[in-house]
Amino acid sequence: MSTDKAYKVLAKQERISNNQAKALIDRGLVYVGDKKVKIARAEINEDTQFRVDYPSDIEIIYQDDNIIAVNKPAQIDSYDIQDAIEGAELLHRLDRDTSGVLLLGRNRAFVEDAINEFKHKRVQKQYVAWVEGVVYETIEIDAPILTIKKGKAFSKIDAMRGKKAYTKVIPEEVQGKKSKVRIEITTGRTHQIRVHLASVGHPIVGDEQYGSRTQSKHMLLHSSKIKLFDYEFEAPEPKGIARYK
């Protein structure tokens, strides 16, 4: 019985490219029976039947011929949502642990126009988060960010090599030594909100990568509102964000 690499067998079965198949395996979405396929290059029988566990229960806020607005759950990769909606292309990304409004385009012309809006900082984005410590006044953070993308992406403040980034943090509520804040950003650097908040001593609750010491199922950051062209979308806060424990 002949064998081939798992991602190649999957690509043939699902009629997708080798790269798409490898990405599905790398994201932990591919199973044989109840066992997850962990190594994309593992040798496997060519007649193996895979099961791709695409994200379910994707809540579509709005859709038309140009755009789809999704309320992304936490702990799902933005690309998994793109893969699950036929003919859709991401206009931006949210970190895996970030919930909220995620936008996808439906045709090439619109996608290019929309990406240009993001590039020129004409998209209005608002988030909510629970952070460590007490925030009692508005904080404006204007610190350049450098992202290192070797393996797992990591960003840091770097005045010399960093790219311009601006974050505005507005207090909303305090519970003990935790604060709920509203966040507005005009730039979209990798991990921008997380790095900026950590840099002023208020890492996002559950964000262990950037210094949170509070155990949480996931990071408490939510993309609440976004405005692009004449479109404006809002995603209701999940329970863990709307009300802290």
Query: In angstroms, rounded to a whole number, what is the distance separating the alpha carbons of residues 95 and 51?
Result: 25
Q: Could you confirm whether 95 is annotated as catalytic?
A: yes
Of the CA atoms within 13 Å of residue 31, those in its CB half-sphere come to 8
Residue with tokens 């999704």: 70
Number of helices (H) and strands (E) in the chain: give both, helices first: 6, 17
CB atoms within 10 A of CB 89: 16
Query: Which pairs from 183-189 meet CB under 8 Å and 24+ separation?
Result: 183/126, 183/127, 183/128, 183/129, 184/124, 184/125, 184/126, 184/127, 185/125, 185/127, 186/121, 187/121, 187/163, 188/92, 188/118, 188/125, 189/145, 189/147, 189/155, 189/163, 189/165
Angle at 197 between CA 99 and CA 167, to 5 degrees: 80
Active-site pick, 83, 95, 97, 207: 95
Of residues 1, 26, 208, 244, the one with CA closest to residue 10: 26
Q: Which residues contact 232 (CB under 8 A, 6 or more apart)?
A: 225, 226
Q: Compute φ and ψ for 188, nearest 5 degrees.
A: -135, 55
Return the active site residues. 95
